[in-house]
Amino acid sequence: MYPATRLRRTRQADWSRRLVQEKTLQTSDLVWSVVVSDTADPREPVAALPGVDRLSLKALAEAAREAEALGIPAMAIFPHIDPAKKDEAGREALNPDGLVPQAIKTIKDAAPNVGVICDVALDPFTTHGHDGVLDGDYVANDATVDSLIQQALIQADAGCDVVAPSDMMDGRIGAIRDALESAGHHNTMILSYAAKYASGFYGPYRDAIGSAAALKGDKKTYQMDPANAEECLREVELDIQEGADMVMVKPGLPYLDIIKTLTDNFPVPVLAFQVSGEYAMVQAAAANGWIDGDRVMLESLMSFKRAGAAAVITYFAPRAARALNG
């Protein structure tokens, strides 16, 4: 009891605060979320994501070298393709010479020690903006899984280190794992977007990949209800049983309780995705002088570590790395 116990004693100096700090945030905790484009411009600013550009392959190579120099361990690729290449079934996702396989090879050539994580989903490639093949107005589960298997194999063939199914179709992790094993890709990792919620925080990302205007309806029939917490336990358990090496919670900050629940219950790495809406809010508030942008950036990233996340996918990765590296 006070005054024998004074909790402020350990807070009084920088050295003592660092000594008793419970969690640490390091550059090795960051995955850089990048949007790669097949447009002619080397860099095309995304209005809804201040500070984020769509990158040409040449600019992507420069970014990969920057990531390596900063100590960022991995980059996550999200494609923006020419709308003329989109169709109802998202067939461009299955092009072995398409943008994503080229992007994988670009990163590997420029920075061989940087890991490559690839989104496995059809929404950047479909005219309707959904993550799968439509049957009327409904996203058909099994037909979509067939396409996702092919997409994941093409990415693995191109040298992708981690395939990351973000579609939320039932059974896709087991199907992709079986296909990878059969094709000899025994060491290709699967990062499952196991707890992906039907969120309003994805808006700027959809602008970045060009699916916002195309999206018909919503994604509530396959992404999780924001009201549900227990359901994530079933989703993650199934994905681990099917062969996921790591699991994802998306969005991040509004779902810290989900990250904590999963890390308390499963002995696998749990990643958080600090999504586009979270990034954009920090940037907008900082631009208006309402917050200290760098301080809030690092505080938000630390919150993921406090909740138990092994790593964070974020658009802030290079900026945060520079701040952490001093």
Catalytic residues: 196, 250
Among 220, 279, 226, 234, residue whose Cα is nearest residue 257: 226
C-alpha 325/C-alpha 320 separation (Å) is 8
Q: For residue 248, list its beta bridge partners.
A: 271
Among 263, 257, 274, residue whose Cα is nearest residue 320: 274
Q: Please report, for residues 90, 156, 169, 174, 259, the alpha-carbon distance to residue 149 in angstroms, rounded to integers and kept in the order given.
A: 13, 11, 12, 10, 27
C-alpha 178/C-alpha 172 separation (Å) is 10
Question: Cα 50 to chain center, whole Å?
Answer: 18
C-alpha 11/C-alpha 3 separation (Å) is 16
Contact 49, 276 (CB under 8 A): yes
| Helix, strand or coil, per DSSP, at residue 186 | coil
C-alpha 65/C-alpha 178 separation (Å) is 33
